[in-house]
Amino acid sequence: MADSYNELTAQEKYVIQQKGTEAPFVGEYTDNKSQGLYQCKQCDAPLYRSEHKFPSHCGWPSFDDEIDNAVRREPDADGRRIEIVCANCDGHLGHVFEGEGFTDKNIRHCVNSISMVFVAA
């Protein structure tokens, strides 16, 4: 990792750099309804806007869109899911799911709160 990235706690490193997952329903942004911007915890790159967020009740923050070119999709090591990473620093964000019908866009970015920082509008 580049030296210019933000300093991370051991738990943040586990999720962001080692592709871990935080426990469901514990993240500080799961139920956040404030207006603002979600940025990568590791590099501060903008990822999602509050208007992308919706309540999926899955245990993690859910978004049905991302800021253009902010998130990259990659096949997950488990061979079944699609991982999402920060396009700027490759930090693990979570996974993306399609076809669940939660929103008109029919997509859900399931993101670890610990992978992000929220900046209120």
CA separation for the pair 31, 42 (Å, rounded): 22
Mean local confidence (pLDDT), 60-77: 96
Task: Please report, for the domain that includes residue 71, its CATH number.
Answer: 2.170.150.20
110 is catalytic: yes
Tell which wins on pLDDT, 79 or 32. 32
Q: Is residue 1 part of a domain?
A: no
Q: Is residue 4 part of a domain?
A: no
Q: Is residue 113 part of a domain?
A: yes
CA separation for the pair 21, 33 (Å, rounded): 22
Q: Is residue 33 part of a domain?
A: yes
Residues spanned by the domain of 100: 10-120
Q: How many domains does the chain have?
A: 1
Question: What percentage of the chain reaches a pLDDT higher than 70?
Answer: 98
Q: Is residue 68 part of a domain?
A: yes
At 10 the three-state DSSP class reads: helix
Residue 1: closest CA among 97, 82, 89, 121: 89
pTM of the model: 0.93
Q: Is residue 65 part of a domain?
A: yes
The answer to whether 82 touches 93, Cβ cutoff 8 Å, is no
Q: Is residue 20 part of a domain?
A: yes
Q: What is the pLDDT of residue 2?
A: 53
Q: What is the pLDDT of residue 11?
A: 96
Alpha carbon distance, N-terminus to C-terminus of the chain:
30
